[in-house]
Chain A
């Protein structure tokens, strides 16, 4: 065994150029696979993170009868005394922030243009609002006792031609089905760099939102952020009550998980294409090498090397090539992923709301992907080398010595 490995190593070294290019082709193929996996993984993960941070939170506590599509404001669909519940939840060790929020629908009108708005009443002081607060482009974030201020997103400000300090009319749907219109002052304009969210979301203070929608001391949901996503299950178990339901981030973002599933299933096909190209290149190179070395094989078999060992020798060469290629691939692929991981590239808005993608995509690579893809590359190369190796083993010594395969 050791002898075969030694032989194979010497053979590879004897023709360095060929060995290098073969390994390089395999390495580039693997690097490409790693990059693709990194980009897809990161795209999905970052959009899930964005969605959790901006829209759903890790958990939401809602009334059992609350219907998200309706954004109902009837008191029986809301959480009563939300500040107290939020304080209780916030005291749990795994929770980083818990804050009441009230969701209402409305219209922001300025001059003769208007835009549909999803109004969120927030407790301005809560740490859960950090992403919006940090995204303020002009003006400032809401203050706790703000009774006539709103903060709107940049796309809406552009569409309606509004700037901080302007006073558009805001029309809000209320708990008893009326519509209340009132002029609000734009305190600030924010951008979370997520157009699908910024487009329609308008913030006002929870107290004002409760007053204008006649929701009393109620909230649509308690928005909960955890320190660690993996603790979701434990916190849900601790929060179970009959009165309220607790929704988890994976359920609230089911569309996103499904997209991930679809993306993964179609990426497999692309992986296969790339593996097929790499395999084609490697098989043909190895076959060519076998033919080139007919005479050498003839000598080996004339000296009494059994065909099984010849086959094993070629197989060992391929395995070494594969390992070398995988090493090159991991280095190049790692470098590419690291590059895209730090620079990222702009993707803009997907134009479909309900799925929030951040404007930039970064690449991240999971160990699982790296290991799986490297194994795939190894297996493909080894399977690909079976044919050339058996070709070599089948040569007749005399014929091979004469170079009998040279047609």
Chain B
């Protein structure tokens, strides 16, 4: 076996030019496929990432029993959450973990009544990471000391004819089901470019919400924002051991429509990816077949020297595998290099489209991931193609009479 390995290795480097062409093909194709994968994941983050942030974060922690009545947004206080909060914040992929009270209510002014979601949050924690906090068009974001102050969307402000400093009435449900009413002052207005979405949610400070709903010092939810979509399962697995008395869920549960959208978008991109593999596969196959057919005479010599067809096939199998492995290694290095670069710098599409003026939810700047999502599957396919393409013509030649192969032109 070692002999065959040695022979194969030597053969590869004896046909330097051929090997070089094949390696360029395999590695370019592999690198380009990684670029594709990285970009697709990057698009996903750009299109859905901010929406997930605004609509409640990547992962939520609730008290046990929340899920069963999640539609009613129950005011179930979390048990002691210091440990789990600390554990979550210690993870590198966590951008922010913040305590919230999440419920529904009604905002009324002289313009009418509007059903809204009410989110009590810790302004000092979320000020730096929450998209709405960065899209303030009037007034300012909340501060921890704020009392009777709400941070509302431009869509709601328009509909209710409210400006900063104006007052409106907020009616909410307290922990014991009776309605609580409070006059609030508009402290700031955010604009994320989608009026419908802005009408849906108003923000108050956590202390205010605790007061309004009689929840003492506790929160009903911990909302965790991650660097990118797809890191949720790992985080949830890491937190589960210390999550007794808590329920962990991700945006996939709270936003099923978006999950379906991403899934089926992903399915389309996967189909494209598979077809791309076929293109690459045919190319590599053709190239390697050519290279081996070119060596028919050499195979004749091997046969004349007494190598059995099986042994010749083995030799070419090893060569194909080696070419595949070396090509893949170079290709992966090439792909990682490009993707790291694009992940750092990002590609700014906002120059080509006026999109970003309209909505804060879709980012015009795309950062590639490393593109390792489908690496294993793509690598294996390339390797198998390389091996088949090397063995098939070799077997054919090896089965012939050596004399015939020797005279092959």
Contact = CB atoms under 8 A, between A and B. Distances in A.
Interface of A: 17-18, 21-22, 24-25, 28-29, 31-32, 35-36, 39, 67-71, 105-107, 112-117, 159, 171, 173-174, 177-179, 195, 200, 254-255, 258-259, 261-262, 265-266, 269-270, 273-274, 276-278, 280-282, 284-285, 287-289, 291-292, 345-354, 357, 361, 405, 407
B177 A112 contact: yes
B197 A354 contact: yes
Contact of B29 (A173, A174, A179, A280): A280
Contacts of B36: 270, 273-274
Contacts of A71: 159
Contacts of B347: 269
Interface in B1-55: 15-18, 21-22, 24-25, 28-29, 32-33, 35-36, 39, 43, 48, 51, 55
B380 to A, nearest CB: 18
Given A24-B282, A113-B72, A351-B255, A281 B264 contact: no
B366 interface: yes
Contacts of A105: 112, 114, 159
A276 B195 CA distance: 42
Given A107-B115, A354-B194, A277 B280 contact: yes
Contact of B289 (A17, A174, A179): A17
Contacts of A284: 21-22, 24-25, 283, 287
27 contacts: A18-B286, A21-B289, A22-B286, A28-B279, A35-B271, A68-B195, A106-B113, A114-B115, A178-B112, A195-B257, A255-B359, A259-B355, A262-B353, A262-B355, A265-B349, A278-B283, A280-B283, A281-B287, A285-B287, A288-B21, A346-B264, A347-B265, A349-B260, A351-B257, A352-B361, A357-B261, A361-B264
Given A69-B155, A277-B32, 9 more contacts: A28-B279, A35-B271, A70-B159, A105-B112, A112-B173, A173-B112, A179-B112, A288-B291, A351-B48
Residue among A18, A254, A354, A405 having the largest count of chain B Cβ atoms under 10 Å: A354
A32 B275 contact: yes
Contact of B355 (A258, A277, A347): A258
Contacts of A262: 349, 352-353, 355, 362, 364
A178 B257 CA distance: 35
B88 interface: no
A262 B348 CA distance: 11
Contacts of A258: 353-355, 358
B290 interface: yes
Nearest to A29: B279
A254 B272 CA distance: 29
Contacts of B159: 69-71, 105
Contacts of B264: 345-348, 361
Residue among B21, B263, B275 having the largest count of chain A Cβ atoms under 10 Å: B275
B113 to A, nearest CB: 5
A103 to B, nearest CB: 11
Contacts of A353: 194, 196-197
Given A112-B177, A353-B194, A107 B255 contact: no
Given A277-B33, A281-B29, A347-B264, A28 B278 contact: yes
B261 A159 contact: no
Residue among A31, A262, A265, A276 having the largest count of chain B Cβ atoms under 10 Å: A262
A280 B112 CA distance: 64
Interface stretch (B103-111, B120-128, B211-219, B238-246): B103-111
Interface string B175-200: 00100000000000000001111011
Given A262-B355, A265-B349, A280 B290 contact: no
In the complex, the 8 A-B pairs of residues with the closest C-beta atoms, listed nearest first? A281-B283, A173-B112, A348-B260, A349-B257, A351-B258, A21-B286, A116-B115, A265-B352
B276 interface: yes
A259 B16 contact: no
Residue among A200, A284, A285, A289 having the largest count of chain B Cβ atoms under 10 Å: A284
Contact of A280 (B24, B263, B275): B24
Contacts of B111: 70, 173, 177
A348 B286 CA distance: 40
A255 B173 CA distance: 36
A179 B16 contact: no
B341 interface: no
B268 interface: yes
A261 B358 CA distance: 13
B282 A277 contact: no
Contacts of A282: 283
Given A25-B283, A70-B161, A280 B32 contact: yes
Contact of B272 (A24, A36, A116): A36
Residue among B265, B271, B286 having the largest count of chain A Cβ atoms under 10 Å: B286
A288 B352 contact: no
A106 B108 CA distance: 11
Contact of B25 (A32, A35, A281, A361): A281
Nearest to B43: A266
A116 B39 contact: no
Given A262-B352, A276-B32, A69 B261 contact: no
Contact of B366 (A177, A179, A266, A345): A266
A276 B280 CA distance: 11
B285 interface: yes
Contacts of B294: 292
B129 interface: no
A22 B364 CA distance: 37
A117 B155 CA distance: 15
A262 B365 CA distance: 11
Contacts of B279: 25, 28-29, 32, 274, 277-278, 281
Contacts of A291: 17-18
Given A116-B200, A348-B264, A349-B260, A25 B112 contact: no
B158 interface: yes
A17 B15 CA distance: 22
Nearest to B275: A32
B116 interface: yes
B71 interface: yes
A348 B25 CA distance: 39
A347 B261 contact: yes
B361 A261 contact: no
Nearest to A32: B275
Given A258-B354, A258-B355, A280-B29, A18 B275 contact: no
B52 to A, nearest CB: 9
A42 to B, nearest CB: 11
A380 B352 CA distance: 24
A361 B289 CA distance: 40
A114 B71 CA distance: 10
A115 B286 CA distance: 61
Nearest to B283: A281
A114 B104 contact: yes
Contact of A25 (B155, B197, B286): B286
Given A35-B272, A35-B275, A280-B32, A21 B358 contact: no
